């Protein structure tokens, strides 16, 4: 299904009845990333899976301007309003976690329960080797600006995700990955479950532990898995999610 959000043609899938669940996918994924969970949970919930704008899955429109996390969050808020969803559980992975953290912190009235899976948003620890690489890149960039070196000398710098993007999306990528959301995590009041892969090297486990300390009403479950823990341990993931969503404090 398609809907227009802020001038952008936006793809989403929706099914089921009951309390709302919103799925927010990771950076290289799409609404199809949560297909398995979508099918399982639609039996007891009204599930909605949004496809983010830009990136490379060609379902929703690409971005017409540079975005940061707050822009993505604002568009998700508009999306929910257009669908008349006033309160929802959110299940999100990686990049989707950035958007969900921002939403839960700034619009607590919207978020019922929050499930963060291998979420991005925490500033990573940086080694001396990494810092030296950044220094070298900045020096080369300065020399390119002075036209001492050719721009092609910069091509090998940047992550695989960054280099795979078209030029018009690279600044959005930089905006997003450089934003540390730990101050927003402190503001979250929604009951929160953190699900993480023990062997996640994209968003290492120390990030989950940091989030767990900052979010006041929060629990942490660690699977023997990597960055896509919800796919690698799918059955355990579904059991855990169902228990968390159905649990009522006495």
Rounded to 10 degrees, the C-alpha dihedral 59/61/63/64 comes to: 170
Mean pLDDT, the chain, whole residue set: 88
DSSP-assigned beta bridge partners for residue 5: 8
Spatial distance between the Cα atoms of 210 and 205, rounded to a whole number of angstroms: 9
Both tokens of 233, joined, read: 């341990």
Q: Give, to the nearest 10 degrees, the angle between helix 69-82 and helix 167-177.
A: 100
Both tokens of 197, joined, read: 């892969």
pLDDT in tens, 12-41: 999 999 999 999 999 878 999 999 999 999
Helix (H, G, I), strand (E, B) or coil at 167: helix
181, 192 contact by CB (below 8 A): no
For residue 125, name the pLDDT band (cuts at 50, 70, 90): low
DSSP 8-state symbol, 61: P
Spatial distance between the Cα atoms of 29 and 2, rounded to a whole number of angstroms: 18
pLDDT in tens, 147-176: 676 666 555 555 566 556 667 788 888 888
Q: Which uninterrupted H or E stretch holds 93?
A: strand 88-93
224, 198 contact by CB (below 8 A): yes
More confident residue, 83 or 151: 83
| HEC assignment per residue over 65-107 | CCCCHHHHHHHHHHHHHHCCCCCEEEEEECHHHHHHHHHHHHC
Has domain 2-123+180-246 been given CATH number 3.40.50.1820? yes
More confident residue, 56 or 111: 111
Residues of the chain above pLDDT 90, percent: 70
Terminal Cα distance for the chain, rounded? 39
What is the reported pLDDT for 64?
A: 87
More confident residue, 63 or 151: 63
More confident residue, 146 or 91: 91
187, 181 contact by CB (below 8 A): no
- b/e burial code for range 150-164 (CB count within 10 A of at least 16 → b): eeeeeeeeeeebeee
Model pTM score? 0.86
Q: Which is it for strands 88-93 and 111-117: parallel, antiparallel or unpaired?
A: parallel
For residue 126, name the pLDDT band (cuts at 50, 70, 90): low
Which stretches within 146-228 are classed as H helix? Answer: 160-164, 167-177, 182-185, 205-214
Domain limits, the chain: 2-123+180-246, 129-160
What is the reported pLDDT for 250?
A: 44
């Amino acid at each position: 299904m398609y809907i227009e959000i802020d001038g952008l043609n936006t793809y989403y899938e929706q099914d089921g009845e009951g309390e709302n669940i919103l799925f927010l996918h990771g950076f290289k994924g799409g609404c199809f990333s949560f297909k398995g969970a979508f099918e399982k949970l639609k039996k007891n919930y009204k599930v909605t899976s949004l496809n983010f704008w830009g990136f490379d899955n060609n379902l929703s429109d690409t971005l017409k301007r540079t975005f940061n996390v707050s822009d993505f969050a604002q568009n998700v808020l508009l999306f929910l309003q257009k669908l008349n969803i006033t309160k929802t559980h959110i299940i999100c992975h990686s990049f989707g976690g950035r958007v969900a953290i921002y939403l839960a912190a700034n619009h607590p009235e919207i978020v019922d329960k929050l499930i963060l899976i291998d979420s991005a948003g925490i500033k990573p620890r940086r080694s001396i080797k990494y810092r030296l690489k950044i220094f070298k890149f900045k020096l080369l960039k300065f020399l390119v600006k002075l036209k001492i070196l050719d721009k092609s000398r910069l091509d090998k710098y940047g992550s695989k995700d960054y280099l795979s993007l078209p030029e018009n999306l690279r600044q959005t990528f930089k905006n997003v990955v450089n934003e540390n959301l730990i101050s927003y995590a402190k503001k979250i009041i929604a009951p929160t479950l953190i699900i993480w892969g023990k062997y996640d090297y994209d968003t290492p486990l120390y990030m989950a532990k940091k989030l767990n300390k900052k979010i006041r009403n929060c629990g942490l479950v660690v699977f023997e898995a990597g960055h896509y823990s919800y796919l690698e341990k799918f059955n355990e993931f579904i059991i855990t999610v169902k228990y968390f969503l159905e649990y009522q404090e006495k």
